[in-house]
Structure 1
Amino acid sequence: MRAMILAAGRGNRMRPLTDNQPKPLLPIAGKPLLAYHLEKLAQARVNEVVINHAWHGEQIENFVGDGSRWGLQVSFSAEPEGGLETAGGIIKALPLLGDEPFWVINGDIWTDWDYRDLPTQLETEQLAHLIMVKNPAHHPEGDFALENGLLVNDGSERKTFSGIGLYRKELLEPYPQGKQPLKTFFDRAINQSRLAASYWEGHWTDVGTPERLHQLNQQLEK
């Protein structure tokens, strides 16, 4: 199984904490956020991990190395200054991800979910399977509604995309180069009824601001 960790964001909302380091290396309870993902992927028996980066990427490469301390084989996908947005970054890394479905995980989230519970297979018609969570206070409107195991744009019970999912590379056809937002591809798959999802109710945080980082550290250090 292969996985990709998205770590190319500039982290403007986290400034000044991210002025001199990438957001995925910010400490959570004394450990870099990125380390949690690597540990959990190793526990889930992932063999290969791709990490993209654009802001202070050398710090990410120096910290992770070849991944052997976690029992992983890690490679890096360097992006130009400013990054390529989510879909653009995944498309650039596709040669490293192979032809089978792969996990994609946002590097700036924290969760206590066991990655061994992540789906490993997609139905033939499915292009991806996303993990949805309860809408946080800063995003009360959610992203998509979940009905009968599929995501829909219309629906009263909207949930928030966790930043964790299993992807088939065909989701991103025709593989346009450059900056590409992921929502465009999600919307197309939803319109085709090909975007599966499941809902998880555990602890999840989008570590997107200094305030949320501080709150999460307080919660974990109790």
Structure 2
Amino acid sequence: MQAFVLCAGRGKRLRPYSDHLPKPLFSILGKPLLAIILDQLVSQGFNRIGLNAWHLKERLLEFVKTYTKRVPAIKIEVFEEPELLGTCGALRNATEFFSEPTLVINGDILTNFPLRVVYEAFIRETPPCLMFLHRYPGLNKVRIENGWIRGFGDDSEEGWAYTGIQVVSPEWIRVLPEDRELVSAYEKLLGRGYGIKALVATGFYWRDIGTPENYLKAQEEILSGKAHVPHAPCKGKISLPA
């Protein structure tokens, strides 16, 4: 099984801390978030991983070199971007990597949901694309009907929130329009008749660490025992990057 971790963004909401450290390398109680994500993937059977890199890419390349020495069974391929390409641009830039169904996860997501379950749901259904959704106040913008995504809109009680986790087929990558960002591209594909399967779940831990408040909150939740995240330290010091 293979996965792709989106790592290229500037992390604007985390400035000035992200000016000298890529967001995926922010530490969770002393361990880089990207290391937690990779350890989760490896433990669940993913052995080929793609990453995109642009902002402070040298730091990411250094991390990958160190990580693969520690975990030689994993193969990591880094796709450097000539400029920041956005989510869909990143996938198109790595087209050669997507030769089989691939789990795609944002590099700023901390969760305890078993990622293999998302992948296996795709294999059972074999849609062009499967998006993993949950309920999250303020982000419930995805509309679903009979298990399929019908569109995107404003936050509402009837909506669902995208977790930043999806599984895509080679076909999906081939038909991606030239849009940079996910919503506009996926709306166009829905309009062209391409199906996006929805996998929904509740009752698990999930946090986007993309703001200083959320970053500190994630560490507090783990340290206090409110959240149990596989491969994340349960002890350590809560802090922002120096």
- Per the normalisation by structure 2, the TM-score is 0.82
User: Could you tell me how far 1:101 is from its partner in structure 2?
Assistant: 1.1
Match of 1:212 in 2: 214
Matched with 1:159 is 160
Does residue 15 in structure 1 map to residue 24 in structure 2?
no
Instruction: Give the superposition deviation at 1:113.
Output: 1.1
Q: How many Å apart are 1:116 and its aligned residue?
A: 2.6
How do 1:41-120 residues align onto structure 2 when only pairs under 5 Å count?
A: 41-65=41-65, 67-70=68-71, 71-81=73-83, 83-98=84-99, 100-120=100-120
Aligned residues: 215
* Distance 1:78-1:16 versus aligned 2 partners, 3 A rule: same
In 1, the alpha carbon distance for the partners of 2:130 and 2:69 equals: 29
The aligned residue for residue 140 of structure 2 is 142
Residue in 1 aligned with 2:200? 199
| Aligned equivalent of 1:184 | 184
Per-residue deviation at 1:146? Answer: 2.4
Q: Is contact 1:171–1:185 with CA below 8 Å preserved after alignment?
A: no
Unmatched tracts of structure 1, length 5 or more:
none
Tell me, yes or no, if the aligned pair for 1:48 and 1:74 is still in contact at 8 Å: yes
* Helix, strand or coil at the partner of 1:80: coil
Greater CA deviation, 20-29 or 68-77? 68-77
Tell me the SS of whatever aligns to 1:153.
strand
* 3-state SS of 2:94 partner: helix
User: Could you tell me which amino acid in structure 2 is paired with residue 118 of structure 1?
Assistant: V
- The equivalent residue for 1:169 is 170
Shift of 1:95: 0.9
**Distance in 2, Cα, partners of 1:195 & 1:214:** 34
In structure 1, distance between residues paired with 2:166 and 2:139: 20
What whole-Å deviation, never above 9, does each CA across 1:52-108 have from its counterpart, x for those lacking one? 010111111111226353331001000124x1000000111111232x111110001
Given residue 67 of structure 1, which amino acid in structure 2 is its aligned partner? T
Shift of 1:193: 5.9
State, as a whole percentage, how many aligned pairs show the same letter: 31
Taking the aligned partners of 2:82 and 2:28, their CA distance within structure 1 comes to 27
Gaps (5+ residues) in structure 2?
A: 225-242
Kindly report which structure 2 residues correspond to 1:18-33, keeping only aligned pairs within 5 A, or say none.
Answer: 18-33=18-33
Q: TM-score, normalised by structure 1?
A: 0.88
Cα offset, 1:197, TM superposition: 1.1
Give the structure with the higher percent helix: 2
What does the per-residue CA deviation read over 1:111-138, in whole Å, with 9 as the maximum and x for residues that have no partner?
Answer: 01122322231645x21111102124xx
User: Pairwise CA RMSD of aligned residues?
Assistant: 2.1
Deviation readout 1:8-63 (Å, 9 max, x if unpaired): 00001101110101000001122111011101110121121010010111111111
